[in-house]
Amino acid sequence: MDLVQVIDEWTTRVMALAWALFLLTWSIGWTLRGAPIPFNRVKRAGSSLVEDSVWAAFWLAIGATVFKFIGYVVKLIAGAV
């Protein structure tokens, strides 16, 4: 296995794990936020999870861009050597 394949494999694994965590947090947040319970503290926690998951989506997009750029640079270096 060469360096390009290792980086590509790890990038795929990390991004899949990050997206799974994002989707889990987002769904729990919306469930708590819309739950028909009288506890405002729980609803605020749900809103906080939704807000945090939006930030997570932003950072996932930034991270994916950085990982793709690193993969591109490694492919250029590996192809040139």
Domain count, the chain: 1
Q: Which residues contact 31 (CB under 8 A, 6 or more apart)?
A: 46
* Both tokens assigned to 54: 């939006």
CA atoms within 13 A on the CB side of 73: 6
Provide the residue range defining the domain that includes 30. Answer: 3-80
User: In the predicted model, is pLDDT for residue 80 greater than 70?
Assistant: no
Provide the whole-model pTM. Answer: 0.60
pLDDT band at 65 (very low <50, low <70, confident <90, very high): confident
Which tens digit of pLDDT belongs to each residue from 33-45? 776 767 777 777 7
